[in-house]
Amino acid sequence: MKLDVKPYEEKMKKSVAAFESELATIRAGRANASVLDRITVDYYGSPTAIAGIAAIKATDAMTLTITPWDVSSVKAIEKAIQASDLGINPVSDGKVIRLAFPQPTEEKRKQLTKDVARMAEDAKVAIRNIRRDANDKAKEMKKASEMTEDEQKASEKAVQDLTDKYSKILDSVADAKNKEIMSI
């Protein structure tokens, strides 16, 4: 009986998805609403995502417009953006908040590519941990005589193939983000 690799593949897919969503929060010089995903606003006593209380629109490549559904929340949204690590000062006319994204400097872009590489390595470590768990399970099954040595080797090879596949996916996602960051 060979090891069922489906649950491990699902975990690897989740690691890639988590990496992609983490990358979406990196500001690459273009206005992107997902940079606001991590910012929460104290809205009537409960932390709420900006997207939950306002319409967010990219008016052009360098500007985001935030239109709160409740005008009284404009100040709270401004404070939350200023308190975040976004590094952009919001400009408000009392009804609409504008975020102007400056073009990142060469130095900042290089730092961002290093951040992407670090995040990619963290995601690869997560995938390797999943591989280790799967291989441990195969060894356990072999010890309990639930599989033969050949089946264990085949299971470990299947898990290694998955690891290689998802590592390549992580590399291509990271490369695409780095190209986006370095393009002016």
Check: CB of residue 9 under 8 Å from CB of residue 162: yes
Q: Quick one: pLDDT at residue 14?
A: 95
- 53 and 112 assigned to the same domain: no
49 and 63 fall within a common domain: yes
Write down the pLDDT at residue 39: 85
User: CA–CA separation, 86 vs 141, rounded Å?
Assistant: 49
Query: Is the domain of 126 the same as that of 95?
Result: no
Q: Would you write out the chain's pLDDT as a tens digit for each of its 184 residues? A: 788 889 999 999 999 999 998 888 776 666 777 778 888 888 888 888 888 889 988 888 788 899 999 888 888 888 888 888 777 888 888 889 998 887 778 888 888 899 999 999 999 999 999 999 999 999 999 898 888 989 999 999 999 999 999 999 999 999 999 988 887 5
Q: Is 110 a member of any domain?
A: yes
Q: Which residues constitute the domain of residue 138? A: 6-24+105-182
**Token duo for residue 122:** 């963290």
pLDDT for res 40: 87
pLDDT at site 134? 93
**Cα-flanking dihedrals φ and ψ of residue 148, to 5°?**
-85, 170
Residues 51 and 11 in one domain: no
- Please tell me the predicted confidence (pLDDT) of residue 48: 87
- Are 79 and 132 members of one domain? no
pTM of the model: 0.71
Q: Is 177 helix (H, G, I), strand (E, B) or coil?
A: helix
CA-CA-CA-CA dihedral for 93, 98, 99, 101, to nearest 10? -120
**Pairwise CA distance, residues 86 & 68, whole Å:** 19
pLDDT at 11: 94
Rounded Cα gap, residues 83 and 85, in angstroms:
7
- Whether residues 178 and 109 share a domain: the answer is yes
94 with 126, same domain: the answer is no
β-sheet bridge partners, residue 91 = 98
Q: Kindly report the CATH number assigned to the domain that includes residue 116.
A: 1.10.132.20
Q: Residue 27 has what pLDDT?
A: 66
List residues bridging with 92 in a β-sheet: 97
Rounded to whole angstroms, the Cα distance separating 169 from 135 reads 21
Same domain, 153 and 132: yes
Instruction: Write the DSSP symbol of residue 145.
Output: T
Number of structural domains (the chain) is: 2
Domain with 50 in it: what CATH number?
Answer: 3.30.1360.40
Q: What pLDDT sits at residue 184?
A: 59
pLDDT score of 18:
93
Kindly state whether residues 111 and 173 are assigned to the same domain.
yes
